[in-house]
Chains A and B, each alone.
Chain A
């Protein structure tokens, strides 16, 4: 928590270091990298307060970062430049969240993707959900999903040995969210201070085979954004000066607390069990207020604090049936929708009074 909060208080510094450091290999990779390098410089300048190329250069820069590719430890990576970038602690003390780059989220994973290299001996995790589409219909009151996964090349000798640690993170689409604080004005509590965060997961369920702090260290959790306090969120731009660190921490804690209270941030520290030496399963509950959109379930495999493999399975939560019709109608044809609402109300009132009059006569 505190690390990320501190990171957020120096976004300019972080952005600067990150962008320059991240682009160094591209400088040498020739002309193709030149434009991106230029963009990185623009971004660094923008972070300092200059905007010689306009702010859109800096804005466009963040999503253009190469995707974080988890690797098999101790194995030669297939992509040396990416590996060079990802080496932690190159420009700052290890573990410092200031240098932690936000791993880019694959926004709409169409197919389950594998992120480990196809080495013969390394363990690899593969998983899938019992359903990839959850329709929300008028009788929706939550859903239950089962995730099955398998550890390929498992060296585990017994299911209950605790040889591997598995963490499943189910995330909803990112959203911008305002956290507001009430303050007393003339005897009444009004919303006064507010802070907007962006890239906040609208839904975040974490299920692990044992408590996270026993599975991996803070830095690893930060890197993979595992855990409420390790999710990378940013303060939305255009809110004036950066708030003080302690105030920011308050708001961030409140965000997590309120999300938990709404049932949208969930945690189960002992929710995954191995069925065999390589097969594991877990059950996930989606509450009735689950947000709509593209979800992803990230499955992580650890052993003795070392990250081994990751797998991402997609999940779509969408409105269906009457829900879908009513919602699209309300937003696409608001005038017709409003007229229909009035028409229905009028006819209900008239019908009832007509029926009543007949009974009297």
Chain B
């Protein structure tokens, strides 16, 4: 059964879309990832225009992260002050990112630009995940001590000006790094339709030395708000949000996420994590090969308005 998507202007199989949403949702529930960086390139492979895939992917991330944000809020895992600083940076980043998409679209480079961003992000996340999961596997087998830096050690982060006291995290650090971090993730949200948790979480843990559970709670709040803003801005400036596509993906996504979360509790996710890492790497490589190989068709058509 095919459904014609009004903004993407393509006709796609409805079950394929539900299944895609479900599969990505399941993975995100299982591994606690946003899933945007899986969903958006998948949509591009299916033939959805890159800019529509990005904007709709951002909308999808809103849906999956809101539930998480509420749950984390209830458990008092959100550092509101830190969240506000991150969001402030995120707002600036999103505006810049949406503008960049608009400019690239006008120049006719948007597909390549987005693909290039994905190549960088997917291959680096894939590599990091692979290394992490192999290390985790080794640790679970033999004895091994985490290489996580202990709190109290001073780094260059502590030397920056504009220090604020973040009560919930019991931190006294400069607002510059979280602001810049929020900004960077905001740009990624707007350009790639991702939440950016894969960057936020490790950066907050290792750079800002925040407690892991507060990191997760705060980042998911930031992601929900920043992707919501990215969705609205894409809708206003680029008209690239496809409601029908978003609804179908959400339907599959939220159900898949719940299912995946339960499944994740039962299964040992360490081995599965390697497969996810390989999947992410494969997608990044595929996109890279498409960009690097001599194209079968050197020409392309643009501005189908």
Q: Which residues of B contact A180 (CB under 8 A)?
A: 108, 299-302
Query: Residue B302 contacts which of A137, A178, A257, A337 (CB distance < 8 angstroms)?
Result: A178
In the assembly, what is the distance between CA of A257 and CA of B303, in Å?
A: 17
> A190-B109, A353-B70 are contacts. A175–B305 as well, Cβ < 8 Å?
yes
Residue in chain A with minimal CB distance to B9: A289
Residues of B within 8 A of A194 (CB): 108, 302
Partner of A139, one of B3, B236, B247, B305: B3
Pairwise interchain contact A345-B59, C-beta atoms closer than 8 A: yes
Stretch at the interface among A53-61, A81-89, A297-305, A319-327: A319-327
User: Which of A8-16, A71-79, A102-110, A181-189 lies at the interface?
Assistant: A181-189
Number of chain B interface residues as a range: 35 or more
Cβ-Cβ contact count across A and B, 8 Å cutoff: 184
A28 interface contact, C-beta 8 A:
no
Evaluate whether A177 and B303 lie within 8 angstroms (CB atoms) in the complex, with A345-B59, A349-B65 already known.
yes
Query: How many Å from the CB of B119 to the closest CB on chain A?
Result: 9
Inter-subunit contact B233/A176 (CB<8 Å): no
| A250, chain B: closest CB distance, angstroms | 8
B96 in the interface (beta carbon within 8 A): no
Interface flag for A342 (CB, 8 Å): yes
A124 CA / B6 CA spacing, docked (Å): 41
**Interchain CB contact under 8 A, A176 and B303:** yes
Complex Cα–Cα for A349 and B235 (A): 20
Chain B residue contacts of A250, Cβ below 8 A? 299
A352 and B67 contact, Cβ closer than 8 Å, known pairs A182-B295, A326-B7: yes
Q: A188-B116, A342-B231, A352-B255 are in contact. Are A258 and B301 (CB under 8 A)?
A: yes
Interface residues of B, dominant DSSP: helix
A27 at the binding interface (Cβ < 8 Å)? no
- 0/1 interface trace, chain B 56-75, chain A, CB 8 Å (1 if under): 00011011111100110000
Residue from A139, A323, A334 within 8 A of B235 (CB atoms): A334
7 contacts between A and B (CB under 8 A): A177-B301, A189-B291, A254-B298, A254-B299, A262-B301, A330-B239, A341-B59
Residue positions of A touching B, CB distance < 8 A:
136-142, 175-184, 187-191, 194, 196, 250-251, 254-255, 257-259, 262, 288-289, 319, 322-323, 326-327, 330-331, 334-335, 337-342, 344-346, 348-353, 355-356
**Given contacts A341-B241, A342-B62, could you give 4 more A-B pairs where the C-beta distance is less than 8 Å?**
A178-B303, A288-B11, A330-B235, A349-B63
Binding site for A on B (CB under 8 A): 1-4, 6-7, 9-11, 59-60, 62-67, 70-71, 108-109, 112, 116, 228, 231-237, 239, 241, 243-244, 246-247, 250-251, 254-255, 257-258, 291-295, 297-305
